[in-house]
Structure 1
Amino acid sequence: MQKVPFRRAAATAVCAVTMAATTFIGGSAVAAPPQTPSTPIEFPAADGQLMSYVVNAKAANRGQTKQASRAVQAAGGVTVQEWPEIGVVIAQSDRASFRADVLKQGKSHVVSVGATRTITVAEGTPAGIDTPWQTAQQPQLPQLRSKQLANTDLLYGDATFDGVTADPRENEQWDKAQIKANQAHQITDGSRDVLVGVLDSGIDPVHPDLQANIDVTASVNCTDAGRPDTSPTGWFPTTSSHGTHVAGIIGAPRNGIGITGVAPNVRMASVKVVNDAGSIYPEYAICGFMWAGMKGMDVTNNSYYVDPMQFWCGDQPDQKAVLDAVEKAVAWSTKQGVVHAAAAGNASYDLANKTTDDVSPNDISGTHRQINNGCKDIPTELDGVVTVASTDQAGKLSSFSNRGLNVIDVAAPGSRILSTLPNNKYGLLSGTSMASPQVAGVLALMKSEHPGWAPSNMIAQLRSQAQDQSCKPSATPTGSECVGSAANNSYYGEGIVDALRAVR
């Protein structure tokens, strides 16, 4: 059956007042139902409270970005990082009036300013930056309310962990058979020329089933307030084994021990975007995407959503500024040749029909709020990003997986996936966090066989090659029934990813 055209259209930001969209049916204009404005979320700042911001310049060039930095300084803040390639400045300030003052001081050069979190910057200001405020001992990092990274290592909720001993277990990797990676390996294990960025919590640098495939020179820590930290150990995992598990799914080498990844011969870079409390703030993600483009990576995996909002709404000023900045970072890295895979999320939520959000913001007490389809789960809902749902061993949609007609691109195994853990261990984790790296691995194999393919071509091929799946029964809640055809539906998108077709 005919596949739907590649990639959904970008959602149009709505204003604070209710607006109606217009569609065309049979040549006649028809007004679509208006979207309900999202419930405002305050991003408070008090004098003396150190906060982090994105500042969007009016143009993506060095001159405009420098002018935006000057406006930051004039408003009593400091620049942590400039990204002139996209016209974004990461700034900090302890003044309550900072946002308004930056817009006033930079009225000819700044288009928007947004706070990146609702709490004080726990990590403080990076070393070497002169600040107009007193440098004090920062409070301990807060633990996320609903996305905590602890022994179960969840970047999304509703996952499980079981420890197992470390020995050769490739025969237990049912997931590789479901996506036909075992057959694809008869053709190729991937190329050493291909580099996959694992934007996550760090990769165990000495795990015997990972060490050979880690590119140390391309690895970085982005959790130092959004400034790239290239220190030798900055990208190591600290409080979470999540990134190590994800890395094994993508590229554990074929070395006679442990497991085998989807693309066992490609290189991987550890791009640490998860801080010790389990938070992935916008400045961390922006740094990760920019680093991937600067280092010439071919693929990135993103098994997270950007904190503290489960959905970032375009009709709220702070959220819109952040949404724009992350979107620009993704678009720029894509233009450099990087293709991105991302987890759809584990809230068993219909991303095509957004109504409410009970999670955000997750760095303080969240609130029940109304949202609309102009609110996005980022990075997975950004254009040019492959949105991945999760399947179980029977090929059904995992009970925790998000879904959405024309939002999900493809599906991949994510329930009880065996992979690497720190300290020479192996274990089972469940989540769309485990499904996304399956797709990243397939993209790495595809890039190995077709090095000249651009990201848009790779995504189009990935979608068209996927194994069509009819709507199968699922354990998802009532009201979340599968809609669409076998060629494209709300559970599987265009089907379960197919590694064998990718390398053919």
Structure 2
Amino acid sequence: MRVQRIRPTRLAVVGLTLATAGALALPAGAAAAATPAAAGTTGPLISYVVNTKANHGQVQKVEQAIAALGGTVVQSYEQIGVVIARSTDTQFAAKLRPAKGVDSVGASRTAGILQSDVEATEAATAPAAAPADGSEPLEANQWDMRQIGVDKAHKISLGSRDVTVGVLDSGIEATHEDLAANVDASQSVSCIDGGKPNTAWQAWQPTTSDHGTHVAGTIAAAKNGKGIVGIAPNVRLASVKVVDDGGFIYPEYAICGFVWAGEHHFKVTNNSYYIDPWLFNCKNDPDQAAITTAVRRAVAFSQRNGVLNVAAAGNENIDLAHKTVDTSSPDDTTPGTRPVDQNCLSLPTELPGVIVTTSVGVNGEKSYYSSYGKGVATVAAPGGDARYQLPDTPDKNGRVLSTVTGGGYGYKQGTSMASPHTTGVVALLASTFPWADPEELTELLLNQAESHACPTVPYNPGGAGAWTATCEGGENDNGFYGAGIINAQKAVQWWR
């Protein structure tokens, strides 16, 4: 589910001078920590999520405890009881955990970068003039839209301007000819400055990745005779930048994004990523447990404020209902091999209330790379499969065509591409049923999905065993397709 990695190089650590606050009463045993870190415990500057205890009014006390330990408060989210802090003290978390008002503390990162090629972009041929039939110039290559009935849906609805979709990603190119009409600058933000919201126009523009621009086009590229068309071309898009220039989505970025979505009452958000640096966050690890708590609070806050969050299942062909091993974490230093189980969660994908989307190719079968899982997968959507499922389109490309930076168009595949299809259908549902809250939208989404049974023969694309998978469940609820493949036409037929 990783967004495209930018380059396999280590990010530089910026050296900062950390202020030390005055004396503060700390729990027994913590008094010695009220000074900057000793030379033997000084390391790189690291970010931490600090969760306060459930009762209100704890944030200020925790901020004081952070300062007393020589740390810096970057951002406080009083509404969810989460503080983002930084420190160069390698013992910072251990020293802060006993402080009054602190529930849990976790380092949100280590360092480094890796690269993924599942969603690499292929350039598309520049669009010609719009065809005489009124379709978009590149619409003939959008097999994904026809697969879920978008062409038929558009005869009924293009979506409502009252619906805002938050794209939590690498930024949206607001000047793109197919997106400019729908990107709402007043609701856009960057969260990559340590988790602090920055509404400056340039801050939420894409820099090193076209991933968010591609996702945005699938959701709401305008029906304007240029390039392609999105599923809900009349809704508004909010660019919520949570991917830094190294390609990472650290917890503090996502927390900022979900709180922003809740405060601005978006109808739906798209989350085509997993939160770094852990593919799965396990509750028996104090750092990972704290990350899970903080992100869970942020997601729950957005849900309480009317937001339905859609996420990608992942590109690792992992059965999320039967996890056994993780070989890719932490992904910002040197990954190791560790056992994992159902107490280890992919964030935000496996949090309560999140819509989990698996990927299918043009034949409607699970994409070879798509992760899955009975009881985890909510629905399936086209994400592409350029190895084993090729469309009968002019370009013969099994990937998904959408907008990319530089005003262009390109192909990508991945559950990152499947998720925005679901998000677009949710946007149509929200337009058709404006009274629906997140739970009601979820029920509507499940009802419009086209049931798809598990394969009748063992799933083994290519025959070599590299992509084998086991589908569990019945026709209306199984690990590969959840309740079924989404259907845009049904989403706009209120009389169905």
CA contact (8 A) 2:317 2:467 kept: no
SS in 2 for 1:50: strand
What aligned pairs does 1:423-502 form with structure 2 within 5 A after superposition? 423-472=406-455, 474-475=459-460, 477=466, 480-502=469-491
Aligned to 2:121: 161
Please tell me the residue identity of whatever aligns with 1:165.
T
Contact 1:398 1:475 in 2 (8 A): no
How far did 1:46 drift?
4.3
Residues in 2 aligned to 1:56 and 1:328: alpha-carbon distance in whole angstroms:
9
Q: What is residue 191 of structure 1 aligned with on the other side?
A: 160
Q: Deviations over 1:38-60 (max 9, x none)?
A: xxxxxxx9414211000000026
Segments of structure 1 that go 5 or more residues without pairing to the other structure are 1-44, 120-141, 148-156
Q: Is the 8 A contact 1:60 1:84 kept in 2?
A: no
Q: Residue type of the partner of 1:299?
A: V
Give the partner amino acid of 2:54.
A
The offset of 1:160, in angstroms, is 4.5
Match of 1:23 in 2: none
Aligned residue number for residue 36 of structure 1: none
Partner of 1:94: 88
Distance 2:97 2:179 in 1: 47
Match of 2:263 among 294, 297, 304: 294
Q: How many residues align?
A: 425
Letter matched to residue 56 of structure 1: N
Cα distance in 1 for partners of 2:66, 2:326 equals 32
**Structure 1 range deviating more: 161-170 or 437-446:** 161-170
C-alpha distance in 2 between matches for 1:405 and 1:228 = 36
Contact 1:389 1:397 in 2 (8 A): yes
Encode CA deviations 1:132-173: one digit per residue, 9 max, x unaligned: xxxxxxxxxx4x2244xxxxxxxxx53353211231111221
**SS class of match (2:145):** helix
Q: 2:239 corresponds to which residue? A: 270
The aligned amino acid for 1:380 is T
1:78 aligns with 2:72: yes
Contact 1:146 1:359 in 2 (8 A): no
Give the C-alpha shift of residue 367 in structure 1.
0.1
Task: Write the letter of the residue equivalent to 2:175.
Answer: V
Q: Secondary structure at the match of 2:192?
A: strand
Alpha-carbon deviations, 1:38-83, whole Å to 9, x = none?
xxxxxxx94142110000000263x211111111112211110111
1:16-55 superposed matches below 5 A: 46-55=41-50
Matched, 1:401 2:370: yes
Q: Is the CA contact (8 Å cut-off) linking 2:429 and 2:444 kept in structure 1?
A: no
Q: Residue 58 in 1 paired to residue 53 in 2?
A: yes
Alignment correspondent of 2:105: 113
What is the root-mean-square deviation in Å for CA atoms of aligned residues?
Answer: 1.4
Deviation at 1:464, TM superposition (A): 2.3
Q: Deviations over 1:165-185 (max 9, x none)?
A: 231111221111111122111
Instruction: Specify the code of the residue in structure 2 equivalent to 1:413.
Output: P
Q: What one-letter code is carried by the residue in structure 2 that aligns with 1:470?
A: A
Whole-angstrom distance in 2 between the partners of 1:375 and 1:324: 12
Aligned to 1:209: 178
* Distance in 2 separating the partners of 1:213 and 1:60: 41
Contact in 1 for aligned 2:164/2:268 (Cα 8 Å): yes
User: Is 1:74–1:102's contact at 8 Å kept on the other side of the alignment?
Assistant: no
- Deviation, 1:424, is 1.7
Please give the per-residue CA displacement for 1:169-220, whole angstroms capped at 9, x wherever unaligned.
1122111111112211111000001000000001112110111100011111
Q: Given the superposition, is the C-alpha separation of residues 369 and 446 from structure 1 closer, same or farther in structure 2, using an over 3 Å criterion?
A: same
The TM-score with structure 1 as length reference comes to 0.82
Partner amino acid, structure 2, of 1:418:
L
- What SS class does the counterpart of residue 483 from structure 2 fall into? coil
Q: Where do 1:308-319 residues align within 5 Å?
A: 308-319=277-288
Alignment-mate amino acid for residue 254 of structure 2: A
Of 371, 374, 380 in structure 2, the residue corresponding to residue 411 of structure 1 is: 380
Task: Provide the rounded CA distance (Å) in 2 between the counterparts of 1:197 and 1:97.
Answer: 37
**Contact between 2:109 and 2:250, CA under 8 Å: does it hold in 1?**
yes
Quote the Cα distance in structure 2 between the aligned partners of 1:102 and 1:430.
43
SS of structure 2 residue aligned to 1:203: coil
TM-superposition CA deviations, 1:117-142 (whole Å, max 9, x none): 013xxxxxxxxxxxxxxxxxxxxxx4
Q: Find the aligned partners of 2:281 and 2:41 in 1 and give their Cα distance.
A: 23
Give secondary structure in 2 for the equivalent of 1:296: coil
The letter of the residue matching 1:481 is T
Shift of 1:460: 1.6
The residue type paired with residue 233 of structure 2 is P
Partners of 1:218 and 1:366 lie apart in 2 by 37
1:68 and 1:185 map into 2 onto residues whose CA distance is: 52
Alpha-carbon distance in structure 2 between the residues aligned to 1:46 and 1:370: 29
Whether the aligned pair in 2 keeps the contact of 1:259 and 1:419 (CA below 8 Å) is yes
Question: Which residue, out of 107, 123, 145, partners 1:176?
Answer: 145
Report how far residue 478 of structure 1 moved: 6.2
* CA deviation string 1:375-399 (max 9, x = no partner): 0111111111100000000101000
Q: What per-residue deviation string (whole Å, max 9, x for no partner) do you get for residues 401-450 of structure 1? A: 00101110000000100100111211110000000000000000100111
Equivalent residue of 1:212, what SS? coil
Q: What residue in structure 1 maps to residue 389 of structure 2?
A: none
What does 1:359-398 align with in structure 2 at a 5 Å threshold?
Answer: 359-398=328-367
Aligned 1:115-264 pairs, distance under 5 A: 115-119=107-111, 142=112, 144-147=113-116, 157-167=117-127, 168-264=137-233
Question: The residue matched to 1:362 in structure 2 has which SS?
Answer: coil
Query: Which residue of structure 2 lines up, in the alignment, with residue 127 of structure 1?
Result: none
TM-score by length of 2: 0.84
C-alpha deviation, 1:98, in angstroms: 1.3
Preserved contact between residue 368 and residue 467 of structure 2 (Cα < 8 Å):
no
Q: State the percentage of identical aligned residues.
A: 49
Give matches, 1:303-382, under 5 Å: 303-382=272-351
Question: Secondary structure of 1:213's match?
Answer: coil
- Residue in 2 that maps onto 1:15: none
Shift of 1:475: 4.4
Once structures 1 and 2 are overlaid, which stretch shifts more, 372-381 or 167-176? 167-176
SS in 1 for 2:209: coil
